[in-house]
A and B are shown apart, each in its own frame.
Chain A
Amino acid sequence: MTLDTRAPAIRANRLGKRYGHVWGLRDCAFTVPAGSIVGLVGPNGAGKTTLLAMTVGLLAPTEGELAVFGEPVRAQTAGTLARVSYLAQDHPLYRAFTVADMLHFGRSMNPGWDQDLALRRMDTLGIPLRRKVKALSGGQQAQVALTLALAKRAPLLALDEPVASLDPIARLEFMRDVLAASADSGLTVLIASHVISELERFCDWLLVLTGGRLQLSGPVDDLLAGHAVLTVPRQTPSSGLPGKTISRTDSDRHSTVLVAADPARVAAARQPGWQAEPAGFEQLVLAYLSRPPLGACAADPALAGASGGRVEP
């Protein structure tokens, strides 16, 4: 398998997916450099799983372009499936197989299979190779599925809510294995999760989806530098603030506003009595998540009538 490692890991342009009359995802454009760990955040039904499934070649886009390492994604083709490793939310396994059978299956299906890594993980986790999958606990089943995804050694690893069924220590141990692979081989990781505090540690790139639209995308450092939290007198209108107002909380006498504006712009617009603080990761993500889904897919009647654009730094 030849792979252009200088090409972006994922490149999407005007990407959309329609289910019947409803767009699950629309007008999605972003470019993620190889070696990134990308956090994909959004409420349930925002289009996260749709985006993941298209990226890994399990679902064909309705419109637009999508490339992984410079190669257009073609759904259900061997070339695409070899470049990506995907762990679905329900981490599917063959329940009647033993753990050893599952590893054997992974090995015979994947040319780059890392049997040492698979055996080491099973040993470390104390999961017996001879046990049947259905006899394992939920957490152990998740660990076997995670191990199959890691041992495939594909250059892009896509994880859909990968650790929801694991306890905090097991989650951390799994992410340590992912981070080690990222440091060793420049593995690119796309990870959908609701646990924002964990994403802050792992991710250097962020995608925020709401209502089937991409609301925010970019390197985490740039996004944080491009936003500020202002505390201003209550009567200050949002139009009098620098940049675009993303979220606003009004108290009796003052308002706290998260704006999309870089530090120079904030400094230039600053009035006496204003306080400006850098935006935090969680604060930023929550502000975009709780915003009305601007530019939401018009085909969804619940969201029809909404208008506006997304912020793309």
Chain B
Amino acid sequence: MFRFRLDGSTGVPPYLQLVHQVRQSLLLGYLRAGDQLPTVKEVAVDLAINPNTVVKAYRQLEHEGLAAGRPGQGTFITGTLASPSVAASKALRVSLEEWFRDAAEAGLSDEAVTALIAAVRHDLGRDAMEERAG
């Protein structure tokens, strides 16, 4: 049976963490169509979280077409997530490796690399948010 986990340090709301874990597991092939998710009670007791949080996550997954509740049986995975093509992720990995080597040659510490990635991600995210807001 699939098991969820909870990271208290991320600031991501618990229900979104559950949704992300299912999406990620679908992408990685750990979850497939037909697999059963644990019941609301099982997740609530396992993670010691509010059952309504689990209900909300499952509703979101149903809304996204990734899962469906079968009355009296539980919640099952119904959808698949188109994973990025193997070729594309291979090419991205090569250019990323190159970038990491460049960063190391330029004398950037691990900490500086992490900070740089976070800053770029933040700026791109902000641009996207401003585009939506504007």
Of B6, B47, B53, most buried by chain A (CB within 10 Å of CB) is B53
State the Cβ distance, A296 to closest chain B Cβ, in Å: 31
- Give A189-238 interface residues, CB cut-off 8 Å to B: 197, 201-204, 221, 224
Once the chains bind, are B45 and A180 in contact (CB under 8 Å)?
yes
Interface residue count for A (Cβ, 8 Å)?
23
Q: A201-B14, A267-B133 are in contact. Are A179 and B44 (CB under 8 A)?
A: yes
Chain B residues with Cβ below 8 Å from A202 are 48-50
Contact indicator per residue, chain B 58-92, by CB within 8 Å of chain A (1) or not (0): 00000000000000000000000000000000000
Q: How large is the interface on B (under 10, 10 to 19, 20 to 34, 35 or more residues)?
A: 10 to 19
Residue of B nearest to A35 (CB): B52
**Taking chain A's interface residues, is the majority helix, strand, or loop, or is none over half, making it mixed?**
helix
- Chain A nearest CB: distance from B42 CB in Å? 9
Which chain A residues lie closer than 8 Å to B13 at the CB level? 221, 224
Contact of B52 among A175, A176, A204, A270 (CB under 8 A): A204
Any chain B CB within 8 A of the CB of A299? no
CB B126 to nearest CB in A, in angstroms, measures 8
Interface membership of A172, Cβ < 8 A: yes
Q: Which residues of B contact A (CB under 8 A)?
A: 6, 8, 11, 13-14, 40-41, 44-45, 47-53, 56, 129, 133
Residues of A within 8 A of B (CB): 35-37, 172, 175-176, 179-180, 182-184, 197, 201-204, 221, 224, 267-268, 270, 278, 280
